Amino acid sequence: MSIKVVIVGGVAAGASAAARLRRMDENAQIVMFEKGEYISYANCGLPYYVGDVIQKRNKLLVQTPKAMNRRFNIDVRVMSEVTRINAAEKKIEVKNTVSGETYEETYDKLVLCPGASPRIPDIPGINSSNVFLVRNVPDSDMIKEFISAEHPQNAVVVGAGYIGMEMAEMLMHAGMEVTVVEASSQILAPFDPEMAAIVARYLRKKGVKLKLNSTVASLEGSKRVEQALLSDGSSIPAGLVVLGMGVSPATGLAVEAGLAIGDRGAILVNEYLQTSDPDIYAAGDAIQVKDFITGQSLYLPLAGPANRQGWLVANNICGRQVRYSGAQGTSIVKILDMTAAATGKTEKYLKAQGIDYRAVHTHPASSATYYPGSTEMTIKLLFTPDEGKVLGAQIVGYDKVDKRMDVLATAIRAGMNVFDLQELELAYAPPFSSAKDPVNMTAYVAGNVVSGMMDVVSWADVPGRVAAGSFLLDVRTEAECQAGMADGAVNISVDDIRKRLDDLPRDQEILAYCRVGLRSYITCRILKQNGFNVRNISGGYLSYPDYQ
């Protein structure tokens, strides 16, 4: 007898599970319920549709119910919300969201892919007609219609995560003055503060106003919102408001059905993505998964993991057992001309968890510096102190950031250490890279730390060390220093160091920096071999917090 699989949710994880199920079992009865009008749409493309970068709406609609039925023989029911699970009788209750009619459907296996719900603050004015979410196609239709009818001059984006940043760019494209309000002290939570600060400086230069450490207390206006009142008492004009405050897993159905919920507040699944009921699987933004690096639980609402999980559930239902090995959080965002990408753990996470690590920052060129169009990027690499095993990486730059990030993300999957990264033979010709690719280059710096050739310290720790008596040494040229140097630093150029050893303290720790960290590394080697206690400041002056 053929198996009957019912899927709740018809976008990333749900549609992926459905298509794979059919490819594996031609006889299965597959029913996919979607409460909205569209299935398998490109929600990641929605901001670009709002900003007219994607001009044709139907490009967002990857599959239609009709096409999916024709190709995969899947019974797709849109405008159909699953409202209850009766796990004991293996039945669900479905409500037609147009007619209001309800009915029951049985299943042999149930797959929950309901995604996540956007966080909406409970503040006055939140239900006004010019306050928008960016979750689905109708949301983006409404924003577009409002912009073309009302031509708002200014916009407030609440939340400086990926969607908030993408929307800020798109609203700028549409000609608005944009203010981003963010509750925490930095934009882009998946990054460490000094990396996010590079993007923040760039955004401010481009005219985006950033209000950090701020929340919106109320949205005010006569017929609709005209201004946002912030927690600090200030107000900003708001012809349009977009919420990008993150999401919470859609667990309602699962909770009501008595399925186990994990410590991250999402549906708990085992390594085969089975819930606490073995006949119910779950995938995507609704579940919590294992952190590939630490083994701890992780909530990671991203499209890549959701698609893989959907695929994997289909395999497991069809008897081809595949374990989910966990997620590491590889992500990327385009912000105007800049790209910011991250994978694995951040320094702030490692510190908070008490996990021992080392970090280096480099500023390599995207391609050979003599080839037109080469730009500088900043790479931060986190690794274990003893073996140099890669724990995480962040890159911010203008060009070819994605390819370096994908190498580093792959390195984490492969369990590589910084010495393995040194050995990677990566594609090189001047338009694409340097003979030592930025990944190799960063790995050489990290390797020096692991092998004890150089001790590093980050700028965040410098003020404390200087207060405790460390000597701050700038080894750039006098001309470079005249353009700006760190507070309290003494300038001795790297080329004069050997002659001026007597000017340096032997009873104090010396913290050396140059522009990017190479000349200060050379300085460290000279001083170390002359018996000084010296550390290189990671990332050099380009990573100095006040560097503009």
Point out which residues bind ligand FAD (CB under 6 A).
Answer: 8-9, 11-14, 33-36, 43-44, 46-47, 81-82, 113-115, 134-135, 163, 250, 253, 284-286, 301-304, 306
Put the strands of the sheet holding 177-181 in their side by side order: 131-132, 240-243, 154-158, 177-181, 209-211
List C-alpha distances in Å: 162 to 188, 307, 360, 379, 489: 7, 19, 25, 19, 37
Closest residue to ligand FAD, judged by C-beta, is 284
Nearer to ligand FAD, 207 or 252 (CB): 252
**CA 145, CA 140: separation in Å to the nearest integer?**
9
C-alpha span between 111 and 116 (Å, rounded): 15
* SS3 state of residue 157: strand
The residue whose two tokens read 């719900």 is 117
Per this entry, what is the length of the chain? Answer: 548
- Determine whether 293 is exposed, middle or buried from the number of CB atoms within 10 Å of its CB (0-12, 13-18, 19+): buried
Rank residues 346 and 538 by Cβ distance to ligand FAD and give the closer one: 346
Rounded to whole angstroms, the Cα distance separating 165 from 168 reads 5
d(CA 461, CA 468): 11
156: its two tokens: 């407030």
- CB closer to ligand FAD, 338 vs 456: 338
Query: b/e for 8-39, b at 16 or more Cβ within 10 A?
Result: bbbbbbbbbbbbbbbeebeebbbbbbbbbebb
Q: Which is nearer to ligand FAD, 251 or 433 (CB)?
A: 251
- Tell me the residue ranges of DSSP E strands in 314-409: 331-335, 338-344, 358-362, 378-383, 390-397
Are the beta carbons of 215 and 181 closer than 8 angstroms?
yes
Integer distance in angstroms from the first to the last C-alpha of the chain? 69
* Active-site residue, 524 included: no
From the CB of 295, what's the least distance to ligand FAD, in Å?
22
Catalytic residue among 44, 113, 481, 514: 44
Q: Which is nearer to ligand FAD, 253 or 421 (CB)?
A: 253
Query: Min. distance of Cβ 507 from ligand FAD in angstroms?
Result: 52
Helix H or strand E encompassing 462: helix 462-467
Q: Quick one: 243 or 443, whose CB is closer to ligand FAD?
A: 243
Q: Which residue has the tokens 């007619």?
A: 99
* Letter string b/e over residues 374-409, b meaning 16 or more CB atoms within 10 A of that residue's CB: bebbbbbbbbbeeebbbbbbbbbbbbbbebbbebbb
Residue 113: CB minimum distance to ligand FAD, A: 4
Token pair of 406 as six digits: 């994908």
State the nearest-atom distance from the C-beta of 9 to ligand FAD, in Å. Answer: 3
Nearest distance, CB of residue 276 and ligand FAD, angstroms:
19
Contacts with 246 (C-beta within 8 Å, 6 or more apart), sequence order:
118, 119, 159, 161
**CB of residue 29 vs ligand FAD: minimum separation in angstroms?**
18
Measured from the CB atom, is 158 or 516 closer to ligand FAD? 158
User: How far apart are CB 157 and ligand FAD at their closest, in Å?
Assistant: 12
Closest CB to ligand FAD among residues 304, 463 = 304
Shortest separation between residue 160's beta carbon and ligand FAD, angstroms: 15
Catalogue the active-site residues.
44
